[in-house]
Amino acid sequence: NAGVMQNPRHLVRRRGQEARLRCSPMKGHSHVYWYRQLPEEGLKFMVYLQKENIIDESGMPKERFSAEFPKEGPSILRIQQVVRGDSAAYFCASSPPGGSALYEQYFGPGTRLTVT
């Protein structure tokens, strides 16, 4: 069973460009979470999605950031007009729809975004 897939693993963008980060959850998982890790810090929750729905976006910056999880295809985290402060590792996690593993999240390898 393949794990959570993220691509690209590394992404370099100039200030003002757009960054698109992709996440494919584990097979059978219908819940996706995005977290951001700044250098030498812990992970901070950004957004929680189910298929075609945003369930909780309380950690998402109000501007320039958006996320989607369409019926088909991966979840996308989009950052418009990137700034240097957006440089971080962005991790995606997925969890199954229910049962005893309801609150377990399985993480992908992350996308390391560098804004120059």
Partner 1 sequence: GNSVTQMEGPVTLSEEAFLTINCTYTATGYPSLFWYVQYPGEGLQLLLKATKADDKGSNKGFEATYRKETTSFHLEKGSVQVSDSAVYFCALTPRPGRRALTFGSGTRLQVQP
Q: Using CB under 8 A, list all residues that contact partner 1.
A: 4, 6, 31, 33, 35, 41-45, 48, 56, 58-59, 91, 93, 95, 102-110
Q: Least CB distance from residue 107 to partner 1, whole Å? A: 4
Identity of the residue, 64 or 107, whose beta carbon is nearer to partner 1 in the bound complex: 107
**17 or 107, CB closer to partner 1?**
107
Nearest residue (CB) to partner 1, 22 versus 80? 22
| CA-angle at 40, arms to 92 and 55, nearest 5° | 30
- The set of residues, in sequence order, having a beta carbon less than 8 Å from that of 30 and lying 6+ positions away, is 50, 51, 96, 97
The Cα 101–Cα 83 span in angstroms is: 37
In the bound complex, what is the minimum distance in angstroms from residue 56's beta carbon to partner 1?
A: 6
Distance CA 1, CA 89 (A): 25
